[in-house]
Amino acid sequence: MKLYEHEAKTIFQKYEIPTPRGELRTSSSLVREVTAKLGVPVAIKAQILVSGRGKAGGIVFANSTQEAETAAKKLLGSEIKGVKVKEVLVEEKIVAKKELYFGITTDRAKCSYVAIASSEGGIDIEEVAAMMPERIVKFFIDSTYGFRSYHAYQIARKLGYVGSQLRDLATIFIKLYKIAMDYDAELVEINPLMETVDGRFVAADSRLLIDDNALYRHPEYKERLIHEAEIELSAQEIEAQKAGLAYVKLDGNIGIIGNGAGLVMATLDAVQFYGGRPANFLDVGGGASADMMASALNIVLSDPKVEVVFINILGGITRCDEVAKGILEAKKRIGFTKPIVIRLVGTNEEEGRRILTEAGIHFLDSMEEAAMKAVEIAKTGG
Amino acid sequence: MGVFVGKHTRAIVQGITGGQGSFHTRLMLDYGTQIVAGVTPMKGGAQVHGVPVYDTVEEAASKHKADASIIFVPAPFAAEAAFEAIEAGLKTIVIITEHIPVKDAIQVMARAKQAKAIVIGPNTPGIIAPNECKLGIMPAHVFRRGIVGVASRSGTLTYEIATGLSVSDLGQSTCIGLGGDPIVGLSFVDILKEFERDKQTKAVALIGEIGGNLEELATEYIAREGYSKPVAAFIAGRTAPSGKRMGHAGAIIMGRTGTARSKIEAFKKAGVDVAEKPRDVAKLLSERLGKKSISTRRNSEK
């Protein structure tokens, strides 16, 4: 789960990481008020969960209360990268001498957390890694011993700092690590981490992603998750979430249902290979019941863009007879408004096929054959 | 003998009294796997399909000389179960459980490394050495004893590709599911090393997907070491958009990292055949093995 900038900053403040003075507002007149209180210049920042917000015009600087109000009026209610802006964070504008980067994330190959620092902040860290790898300091954290203060000092030294600045920077690193652990962060980063003209360090922006699988340890974000679902997800995605199905909306016209993430991805690829365009990813998971199969079909058929549905089931724990029953159940409940191509093999396949045959539903043996058939139907419009 | 497991493997089932645990214990027993004991705290003294149940792994492992464990414990308690198995001295730990927090998984892997134990998973279908040992939840009927070592990040897709290998008479030596999570115990490189040593394995199939860079690291290893056995790969997720989790927690493109294209290009650069469709894996390996046997024949004629 992604946290908003202001949510992450509230956590930063709790851990005493310096952030710019600022407040969250939802109307332009309130923005004007808070600007007067903070003093100009200010930064007005759209609170949205998409990356590249700055480049897309989501951050505006203002030199007067009037400018602030005008900017807020323009931002609030507008759409940035397809997401509606409902709140803005108004902050004192920090004059930076230098912009740094510091973040903590996981490293798959090393099976550990990794601290990443750079003297080149303010831009996408991946861009820095690609263009100037020598400007990146990486430290892999041994999970048995953790990230110690001298590790933080080592990193701050490598960025070229000494004296009290060395201590201040290292302290921020340690605190960010503590946040990463306490909040089960997949990623927590400060970008840019600004060095001010008078030598202080301020977290000008913040990003915090909480591991979805650890959310049960952070019940305070449960409400927040529902909120995120409402603004970020399509109707189908919300339905799928309720039904416990993994669904991702794509922009084609061939609806896809399968069992197992890898198989479904491979099914999308096969459809594209034969010249079709998948409308979605939907994994009914292992051991799917007839009921789940019916909800899956319901969700996919409710997407108006879908012209044909391709069901690809390889029964392992999932039983083909259950899948067949689910398909019939869906037919009974909602009717088949669109053509359906079915590939059904594996556990209890004879029984599953018998059920389908008796209901007059056609099925195919191979994934490739079925993919071709689905593409052909999508192209000719059934 | 398979890689990591074989006829000799003596396994316990943690979470044996749960629905999944009990169901798959029966299927593993049917396959001929030596399931010597089960563990569920507070259920000690019970029996599941004739398998004795203990309260702790320590008791179960020492009384029955177990050397492996398969874990079906729910996610919030799964890391604890893995720690217990590692501390009891078990050397092969299969974690079937999905949705384990990344922080927990990282700690488990660090502990396993210290104890020189191998962790398969989490979020894995497990491991199978056909006709010898099945420590997992995969459908047994798609596998057939043979010569291809399979390492995969997914479940059903593995069954799809394994079916292809079985039908084409190549079969599998050992089939290992790495797991669909971002942090898993084994990498493709770890498994490639095992298959290199394994006499039964004559070729290797790597089944990868978007997310992370385990595939890229495997290609570096293959190129650097001049891997001696033919390798074919399949990568799922060519059509996956960036920033979206495709079913598996680990199947996500983050910025520039983890695209199918990057993985496919890396494999091709390392001289590994990449299958366009799952069923092509068997075809590619048959061709490679066919050519190889012809070239060895020619060499021996000289």
The model's pLDDT over A81-132, given as tens digits with 9 standing for 90+, comes to 888 899 999 999 999 999 999 999 999 999 999 999 999 998 888 888 888 9
pLDDT at A333: 84
Task: Supply B39's token pair.
Answer: 């563990």
CA distance B110 to chain A (A): 7
**Paired tokens of A143:** 């999970």
Residues B251 and B150 in one domain: yes
Measured CA to CA, the distance from residue A260 to residue A258 in angstroms comes to 7
pLDDT in tens, A229-253: 666 677 888 888 888 899 999 999 9
State residue A231's pLDDT score: 64
pLDDT for the residue A228: 66
Q: Kindly indicate the confidence band of residue A224, based on its pLDDT and cuts at 50, 70 and 90.
A: confident
Identify the band that residue A382 occupies on the pLDDT scale cut at 50, 70 and 90: low
Q: Are residues A66 and A202 in the same domain?
A: no
Compare B301 and A6 and report the one with higher pLDDT.
A6
Question: Which of B120, B147, B174 represents a domain boundary (last residue)?
Answer: B120
pLDDT band at A318 (very low <50, low <70, confident <90, very high): confident
Backbone angles phi, psi at A174, to 5 degrees: -60, -40
pLDDT in tens, A12-21: 999 999 999 9
Query: In angstroms, how far is the first alpha carbon of chain A from the final one?
Result: 40
Amino acid at B32: G
Residues 6+ apart with CB under 8 A from A375: A254, A271, A274, A275, A276
Question: Are the CB atoms for B143 and B172 separated by under 8 Å?
Answer: yes
- Is the pLDDT reported for residue B295 higher than 50? no
Whether residue B14 has pLDDT greater than 90: yes
The answer to whether residue A124 is domain-embedded is yes
Q: Same structural domain for residues B151 and B276?
A: yes
Kindly state whether residue A203 falls inside one of the protein's structural domains.
Answer: yes
Candidates A1, A113, A144, A263: best to mutate against B (most CBs of B within 10 A) is A263
Q: What is the pLDDT of residue B255?
A: 80
User: Does residue A371 belong to any structural domain of this protein?
Assistant: yes
Question: Taking Cα atoms as reference points, which of A255, A25, A326, A272 lies closest to residue B237?
Answer: A272
Q: Among A313, A316, A317, which Cα is nearest to A355's?
A: A313
From B159, B214, B248, residue closest to A109, measured CB to CB? B214
Kindly state whether residues A88 and A116 are assigned to the same domain.
no
Place B298 in a pLDDT band, splitting at 50, 70 and 90. very low
Residues B148 and B284 in one domain: yes
Query: What is d(CA B180, CA B124) in angstroms, rounded to the nearest whole number?
Result: 6
pLDDT at A346: 86
Residues A163 and A201 grouped into a single domain: yes
User: Can you give the pLDDT at residue B296?
Assistant: 46
Question: Does residue A8 form part of some domain?
Answer: no
* Spatial distance between the Cα atoms of A105 and A142, rounded to a whole number of angstroms: 13
3-state secondary structure of A107: strand
**Do residues B77 and B160 both lie within one domain?**
no
10 Å Cβ neighbour count for B58? 15
Side chain identity at residue A217, one-letter code: R
Burial B119-154 (b: 16+ CB within 10 A, else e): bbbbbbbbbbbbbbbbbbbbbbebbbebbbbbbbbb
Cβ-Cβ contacts under 8 Å, A314 against chain B: 156, 159-160, 163
Q: A351 forms bridges with which residues in the sheet?
A: none
Q: What is the pLDDT of residue B1?
A: 74
Determine whether the interchain pair A281/B180 forms a contact, defined as Cβ–Cβ distance below 8 Å. Answer: no
Residue (of A237, A241, A355, A252) closest to A309 by Cα position: A252
Query: Measured between CB atoms, does B276 come within 8 Å of chain A?
Result: yes
Would you say residue B128 lies in a domain? no
Q: Which helix or strand (DSSP H or E) is residue A318 part of? A: none
Q: Are A168 and A244 contained in the same domain?
A: no
Q: Please name the residues in contact with A306: beta carbons below 8 A apart, sequence gap of 6 or more.
A: A253, A254, A255, A279, A280, A300, A338
Q: B213 to chain A: which residues are within 8 Å by CB? A: 108-109
Residue B176 lies in a domain: yes
Q: Which of A298-302, A328-332, B162-166 has the lowest mean pLDDT?
A: A328-332
Percentage with pLDDT > 70 across chain B: 96
At A294, which CATH number?
A: 3.40.50.261
- Does B27 contact A at CB distance below 8 Å? no
| Boundary of a domain, candidates A61, A92, A123 | A92
Looking at the structure, tell me whether residues B180 and B115 fall in a common domain. Answer: no
Tokens matching residue A51: 């990356």
Mean of the pLDDT values across residues A23-45?
Answer: 96
If asked whether residues B248 and B144 sit together in one domain, one would say yes
Q: How many domains, in total, are found in chain B?
A: 2
Q: Which domain holds residue A78?
A: 21-92
On average, the pLDDT of chain A sits at 92
A351 in the same domain as A248: yes
Residues A154 and A276 grouped into a single domain: no
The tokens describing A358, both together, are: 């008796």
Does residue A226 surpass a pLDDT of 70?
A: no
Alpha-carbon distance B161 to B166, whole Å?
9
Give the CATH number, domain containing residue B36: 3.40.50.720
**Average pLDDT, stretch B121-147?**
96
In a domain, A227, yes or no: no
Contacts of A317 (CB under 8 A, 6+ apart): A286, A287, A347, B137, B139
User: The domain spanning residue A185 has which CATH number?
Assistant: 3.30.470.20
Chain A residues with CB under 8 Å of B247 CB are 246, 260-262, 264-265, 281, 283
Can you tell me the mean pLDDT for B28-51? 97
Residues A241 and A140 in one domain: no
Distance CA B155, CA A224 (A): 32
Query: Are B213 and A213 within 8 A, CB to CB?
Result: no
Report, as an integer, the average pLDDT of A187-216.
96
Cβ–Cβ of A268/B248 closer than 8 Å?
no
Residues of A with a catalytic annotation lie at: 101, 189
* Gap between the Cα atoms of B99 and B105, Å rounded: 10
Quick one: closest CA in A to B280, which residue? A368
Task: Verify whether the Cβ–Cβ distance A262 to B238 is below 8 Å.
Answer: no
In a domain, A16, yes or no: no
Tell me the one-letter amino acid at A246.
A
Model pLDDT for residues B154-211, shown as the tens digit of each residue = 999 999 999 999 999 999 999 999 999 999 999 999 999 999 999 999 999 999 999 9
Question: Is there a contact between A184 and B101 if contact means CB atoms under 8 Å apart?
Answer: yes
Measured between beta carbons, the chain A residues lying within 8 angstroms of B183 are 106, 108, 111
Residues B277 and B158 reside in one and the same domain: yes
SS (H, E, C) chain A: CECCHHHHHHHHHHCCCCCCCEEEECCHHHHHHHHHHHCCCEEEEECCCCCCCCCCCCEEEECCHHHHHHHHHHHCCCEECCEECCCEEEEECCCEEEEEEEEEEEECCCCEEEEEEECCCCCCHHHHHHHCHHHEEEEEECCCCCCCHHHHHHHHHHCCCCHHHHHHHHHHHHHHHHHHHHCCEEEEEEEEEEEECCCCEEECCCEEEECHHHHHHCHHHHHHHHHHHHHHCCHHHHHHHHHCCEEEECCCCEEEEECCHHHHHHHHHHHHHCCCCECEEEECCCCCCHHHHHHHHHHHHCCCCCCEEEEEEEECCCCHHHHHHHHHHHHHHHCCCCCEEEEEEECCHHHHHHHHHHCCCCCECCHHHHHHHHHHHHHHCC
Share of chain B above pLDDT 90, in %: 90
Same domain assignment for residues B222 and B194: yes
B174 in a structural domain? yes
Size of interface A-B (CB pairs under 8 A): 173
Between CA B238 and CA B277 the distance in angstroms is: 11
Inter-chain residue contact B238 with A272, CB threshold 8 Å: yes
Residues B60 and B145 in one domain: no
**Listed residues B120, B146, B163: the one ending a domain:** B120
**Strand B68-71 to B92-95 pairing:** parallel
For the segment B248-291, what is each residue's pLDDT rounded down to a tens digit?
989 998 888 899 999 999 999 999 999 999 999 999 999 999 86
Residue B82: inside a domain = yes
**Using 50, 70 and 90 to split pLDDT, how confident is the model at B300?**
very low
The yes-or-no verdict on residue A381 having pLDDT over 80 is no
Cα(A280)–Cα(B127) distance, integer angstroms: 31
Calculate how close chain A gets to B130, using CA atoms only, in Å. Answer: 16
CATH number for the domain spanning A47: value is 3.30.1490.20
Same structural domain for residues A349 and A244?
yes
Chain A neighbors of B209, CB-CB under 8 A:
261-262, 265
Are residues A249 and A291 both part of a single domain?
A: yes
Same domain, B222 and B101: no
**Domain-embedded: residue B62:** yes
Q: Say yes or no: A264 and A364 in one domain.
A: yes
3-state secondary structure of A68: helix
Q: How many domains does chain A have?
A: 3
Co-location of A80 and A124 in the same domain:
no
Domain end residue (candidates: A73, A92, A111): A92
Flag whether residue B239 sits within 8 Å of chain A, measured between CB atoms.
Answer: yes
Residue B243 shares a structural domain with residue B154: yes
The tokens describing A177, both together, are 């690590």
Q: Is the distance from CB of A307 to CB of A316 less than 8 angstroms?
A: no
pLDDT for res A125: 87
| Test mutation, A183, A265, A349, chain B, max B CBs within 10 A | A265
With an 8 Å Cβ cutoff, is B250 touching chain A? Answer: yes
The Cβ of residue A211 has, within 10 Å, a number of other Cβ atoms equal to 24
**pLDDT score at B225:** 93
- Residues of A within 8 A of B110 (CB-CB) are 111-112, 142-144
Q: Is residue B131 part of a domain?
A: no
Of the candidates A175, A193, A221, which is a domain's last residue?
Answer: A221
**pLDDT number for residue A242:** 84
Q: What are phi and psi of A51, to 5 degrees?
A: -85, 160
CATH number of the domain encompassing residue B244: 3.40.50.261
Name the one residue in this structure whose structure tokens are 């400018």. A67
| Pair B288, B173 in one domain | yes
- Cα(A298)–Cα(B89) distance, rounded to whole angstroms? 49
Q: Which domain holds residue B207?
A: 138-295
Residues of chain B positioned with their CB less than 8 A from the CB of A216: 76
Nearest-neighbour CA in chain B from A284: distance (Å): 9
- Residues of B recognised as catalytic: 248
pLDDT at residue B148 in the model: 98
DSSP B73-90: --HHHHHHHHHHHHHTT-
Q: Are residues A238 and A357 in the same domain?
A: yes
B152 interfacial to chain A (CB closer than 8 Å): yes
